[in-house]
Structure 1
Amino acid sequence: MSASPRARRMTGAQAGAVTARILSAAVGGYALAYAATAFLSVYLPMERPDRVSFASLASFFVWVATILYVFAARSAWRATWVPLALSLLLGLAAFLPGGYGVRP
């Protein structure tokens, strides 16, 4: 059985871009969900058990939103650096103040 004339094969660059998006969705999404959980667990104005529970549940929404963003982004480069930059920013905001004793 032969391929139809309209069928096209993916080039190496396209396969690399798809692979980068998949890895960014899985790894970058997890990193962003973890950083958002840490950030919300520290800064939400609730009792500690409520903050942690809410942040843990919200992490699933963050991960899904990240996956949707990664596959909707204009380029694979943007799909990679935006989640990682946001996770770095939220992670620093959550963990650095603890070392200086200014954590709420």
Structure 2
Amino acid sequence: MAGGARSGREGWRYRGNVAARAVIGTVGAYAVAALLATALARTLAMPRVEAVTVATLLGFVVAPAVTIWAFLARGPWRAAAGVLAVALPLAAIVWAAGSPA
């Protein structure tokens, strides 16, 4: 390329974009999976051991979906907003459910 111009995938903006999405995908996936598992374990109407097992297995399904969402969103800010849009209601459910009996 003339004049030392870089392609779109070599600049610091691209690398920062990917790094932000990776952090959002990793931390956000963990937070959403943990909040979902906690919310379901506290609210499912079944024996405690079964509720925790079902909730944990669903958390394992949701975590990769959140990471995929972080990379499919139009930008890192939209990815963060999507993760927060899911995490905040789950946090409210966990808070409203109170401590386990």
TM-score range, shorter chain: 0.7 to 0.9
| Matched-pair contact (CA < 8 Å) for 1:35–1:87 | yes
Bigger CA drift: 68-77 or 22-31? 68-77
| Matched-pair contact (CA < 8 Å) for 2:42–2:97 | no
Q: How many Å apart are 1:47 and its aligned residue? A: 1.5
1:3-82 equivalence runs, <5 A: 8=7, 9-82=9-82
Aligned residue in 1 for 2:90: 90
CA distance in 1, matches of 2:57, 2:97: 24
Give the AA of the match of 2:70. Answer: V
RMSD over aligned CA atoms reads: 2.1
Following TM superposition, the consecutive aligned residue runs of length 4 or more in structure 1 with deviations greater than 3 angstroms are none
| Matched-pair contact (CA < 8 Å) for 2:43–2:97 | no
Unaligned 5+ runs, structure 2: 1-5
Q: How many Å apart are 1:17 and its aligned residue? A: 1.0
Q: How many Å apart are 1:82 and its aligned residue? A: 1.4
CA distance in 2, matches of 1:34, 1:53: 13
Give the AA of the match of 2:73. Answer: A
Give the AA of the match of 1:16. Answer: G
Unaligned 5+ runs, structure 1: 1-6
**Residues 23-73 of structure 1: CA distance to partner in whole angstroms, max 9, x if unpaired?**
011101100000000111112222211100111111111101111111111
Tell me the percent identity.
33
Give the AA of the match of 1:76. Answer: P
| Matched-pair contact (CA < 8 Å) for 2:32–2:86 | yes
Q: TM-score, normalised by structure 2?
A: 0.81
